[in-house]
Structure 1
């Protein structure tokens, strides 16, 4: 631009060439990207975890209402009421769990909500005042610029002394550049009117060529620097910041006067190319953001489908429900690590996931409620059995009463579990009645001791037989002999209690030694050992043996159900890895190995249960 001391240059009679190709900013300015504002403003709000954090943010915004955006305020409002609703749902759930009905639940007044509304109203009022002031300022600026156009028009229509006119013109230009914001709808129209009279001024006052060239030269220097600044923005790491900086450069480029006609296209092309690169990177940034949000949506959709696909018919035990609950919690934790989905789907996919989780925990609550009801019925059934056993405990009809009590014990095991609060007490009541009868029976049948001594001698002979077994005997013959010895051992009745463990240990050490030599499977050895254990337990007093067998059977049944559920969990995970994951083959192989081991243990456990059932028939 021309300094005032240069206005005394001689005039040239020739007319200044018109600057016809002055570009408007709208030709290269990138359209505002709606996702940008929403993404930037809502990210901070979405990261808040408590209502206190929301209120603190609102207090900050209240202090700086001028920079508070509607998008962020909307996001804060949405976050607050989600937290508010979650608190109410939690209180409602607790109320129902404590025995209250859903219809009678009345939420407690939320003092935070009053604070929230107060802050929102305060910010709204401040923003309203600020917006009104801003709009008034824009209107005032519009009138100022219209007045400057009128002054410029007067210079064009009634040119006086050239030096004075040029000084006035430069003053008008300076004032024009100092006035910034005007109503958006008037920007282009205002600029076009201004530019028309600027061009006419240069034409009408007939600035001499030196004066014009000097002005063109200064303008070229300014626009060259603006081009260089725009080109540097292509390397700016923050593409959003680069985009906003570019808008300011466009405003400066537009406010700078014309350059020589032969350089106009060149300088404009350079600036436009630099602008295009910044705009391209800005657009790519948001396209990349959209792709990432779509991937997040896909991941969240898969999680929703997993929860929605739960087979509730298979969840029929405490262990099954607890195992599945841990899976749901793991999915909820995974969900928290996934970023935002596209804005139009972000709330919908969350609502879908929350609905699926709510449905799961509601069904879990219904299941446990039904279990409690069943446990109450089971308790009543077991109390009836206690009464029957107590009515028989003083009987001296040893045979018939033994059979009746044995049947009651078998019936006991068919009844499902009772609450842990009562299980020990009711079991103790039942078993004490049974124990009392069998104690009396044992006292009346002490002649059995001589039989036990005889059985002990028989078992010692079998131990000696295995100890002297010829190791050179053919494998199949030796195996048959060992198995026949085990069968004979199991057929022998009780031995004196003090000798039972010692004889059992000696016998099974020899059996294991021969089986290892004959390469008999570990599963068969375990089962054979278990049969021997059961035989020894069965050899105790009838009351003690039956009690131990029932307890052992209940323990095996619980272990059996736990292994079934564990196998189901592993198989579900294998299916998920196969269809939805790119995990390595090593993980799949390890899971398959665990499943096979569990199936083998499951089979062995079932065989043990069958052994017990055969022993207590």
Structure 2
């Protein structure tokens, strides 16, 4: 039914104008109004379809039947192919829509089930469907069958046209022989019955043929000098029938289904045409009543399709927006499987939204769907390529990790503790650089690798248990020396420098400590040493500057040149220290960039730089002392 509505939209809905009975009166008064009617015959012609032979209710039931499986649809198609009946377009369209609705639902369910059972998304392929191939084959036969029926109908229309033209010629001849009117009346009734039994004719000839037929029938009745009672009885029966047709047309205004009402009106219109004339003084009145009732249905019918067209335009706008969304999603870069899955959920959500939107205008419905499907296909094609590449990368990473597992297992029973430890640590670092692998096999590989490493390190630790105890004792001794150095740093007693030297000698003679404590111990030790050396250096520097000032008078006694010579030496020393500081700072910068570990070396260099800066400050104070003496 929807398809017939769409075709009516494409052709344009014309108001049904029924022919006036009193054609002779209209002609005599100069009324040349052209009759435009869309009867059951012309409707079939306009649609380029064979006239349906089944009752309308039966056709509507067939077009609204609910099918629960593709098998049921195929059985119905085969029944249509094997039968002699003409395929009904409304039913064929309904079968097509129902089949593909089930077909796409099955395909989505298969894909969903595949993914839920852990299937690889890029591995999934849509397989050919035997039911779809069978459906297409049956539809091809039906199409050929409908085409043959259409050609046969066209041939039948031409034959019917000739028959009706022959009837008109006979009635025309009887209408021009008044003296034979009474005698010809039974023949006229037979010709009218024959006219009714002849159905479809070419649409372009319908109006003209009907006008000629009605004209000569009415002329015959006007000339008929029949028994008045019989004539009046015939007029009365025709009036009763046309009055009932008017009432039926008026009741259609209450029909909720405007499409059904419109088709019923066409049937009433055909019946009205086939009913004989009424008395002259009533013809205009009856026609006006029937025309008024028809106008109400025609306006509702037109408004219905205008509203339908408006909804279809809205649907087109909505579907265009969804196409743009999918196209934008299809263009976005997805760097991980999580990104792809997120976008996939968005695409599926948009597809569900698409299903909830009705048809777009017929001219754009297929195009907009093809655009939407192309955008979806592009996305899922790119997704398939991504997972294909990821699978290849997984395979490569798996082989690399298997090789590392084999290497680690080969070292499991080694007793070369230091060399093997270094090798296993190197293998562990290399393991971290290898990308991801499938979780199931990845967990197994990791467990095997970890087991091999643990086996070796546990054996090594068991062998070195005694050395670990010694390392803990060394840690305790070094912490005690650090505590003594901290006390010296806070006391500032005489002879501190000698005591510091003794403690540092003792510290250096103590062996290794536990590896985990090494960095912290190193930091504590050098922090207290830095403080002690800084305090000692500053104190010594002050004494040297004071002694230098005291000796300047002796130098001055040797003459002004002696002070200048001394100042020149100090300036050269100042520049030398400055250059050395710059060199160390540059080297330190390179070391920071290129070395991730090397804190001890960096700390040593920082201490040297600080000592040079302190020396440079001492030289600077001596230069100031000479300058003050020269004043």
TM-score, normalization by structure 1: 0.56
- How far apart are the structure 2 equivalents of 1:396 and 1:167? 128
Change (3 A) 1:397 1:62: closer
Change (3 A) 1:26 1:327: same
1:156 paired with 2:175, answer yes
SS in 2 for 1:27: coil
SS in 2 for 1:310: helix
1:180 paired with 2:193, answer no
- How far apart are the structure 2 equivalents of 1:171 and 1:311? 72
Counterpart of 2:26 (choices 20, 24, 35) is: 20
- How far apart are the structure 1 equivalents of 2:469 and 2:313? 81
SS in 2 for 1:417: coil
Q: What's 1:435 paired with?
A: 454
Counterpart of 2:144 (choices 111, 124, 133) is: 124
Bigger mean CA offset, 352-361 vs 374-383: 374-383
Q: What's 1:373 paired with?
A: 392
Q: What's 1:446 paired with?
A: 465
Question: Deviation of residue 65 (structure 1)?
Answer: 4.8
Question: Deviation of residue 285 (structure 1)?
Answer: 2.4
Change (3 A) 1:296 1:57: farther
- How far apart are the structure 1 equivalents of 2:384 and 2:254? 58
- How far apart are the structure 2 equivalents of 1:146 and 1:204? 21
Q: What's 1:59 paired with?
A: 78
CA contact (8 A) 1:37 1:71 kept: no
1:322 paired with 2:328, answer no
Alignment of 1:474-493 (within 5 A): none
* CA shift digits 1:347-401 (9 cap, x unpaired): 2222222222222222222212222222233234434544654566556676776
* CA shift digits 1:554-606 (9 cap, x unpaired): xxxxxxxxxxxxxxxxxxxxxxxxxxxxxxxxxxxxxxxxxxxxxxxxxxxxx
SS in 1 for 2:178: coil
CA contact (8 A) 1:25 1:251 kept: no
Q: What's 1:460 paired with?
A: none
SS in 1 for 2:465: coil
CA contact (8 A) 1:230 1:246 kept: yes
CA contact (8 A) 1:155 1:201 kept: yes
* CA shift digits 1:412-431 (9 cap, x unpaired): 22321224454244323422
Counterpart of 1:246 (choices 255, 259, 265) is: 265
- How far apart are the structure 1 equivalents of 2:302 and 2:80? 30
SS in 2 for 1:339: coil
SS in 2 for 1:315: coil
* CA shift digits 1:427-457 (9 cap, x unpaired): 234223321232123213435589999x9xx
Counterpart of 1:342 (choices 344, 351, 361) is: 361
Counterpart of 1:267 (choices 278, 286, 309) is: 286
Q: Point out where structure 2 has 5 or more consecutive residues left out of the alignment.
A: 1-21, 51-58, 476-512, 517-595, 598-631
1:224 paired with 2:243, answer yes
Alignment of 1:85-484 (within 5 A): 113=133, 117=137, 120-121=140-141, 124=144, 128=148, 134=153, 137-160=156-179, 163-205=182-224, 216-310=235-329, 314-386=333-405, 389-390=408-409, 393=412, 402=421, 405-406=424-425, 408-420=427-439, 422-446=441-465
Q: Point out where structure 1 has 5 or more consecutive residues left out of the alignment.
A: 1-15, 456-492, 495-534, 536-612
Alignment of 1:425-574 (within 5 A): 425-446=444-465
Instruction: Give the greater-gyration-radius structure (CA).
Output: 2
Change (3 A) 1:51 1:444: same
Change (3 A) 1:218 1:452: farther
- How far apart are the structure 2 equivalents of 1:109 and 1:404? 57
Change (3 A) 1:37 1:191: closer
Change (3 A) 1:192 1:424: closer
CA contact (8 A) 1:61 1:123 kept: no
* CA shift digits 1:14-54 (9 cap, x unpaired): xx99543799994354895989999x99x969997976455
Change (3 A) 1:274 1:416: same
Question: Deviation of residue 239 (structure 1)?
Answer: 1.6
Question: Deviation of residue 193 (structure 1)?
Answer: 2.3
Change (3 A) 1:422 1:157: closer
Question: Deviation of residue 273 (structure 1)?
Answer: 1.6
Change (3 A) 1:25 1:277: farther
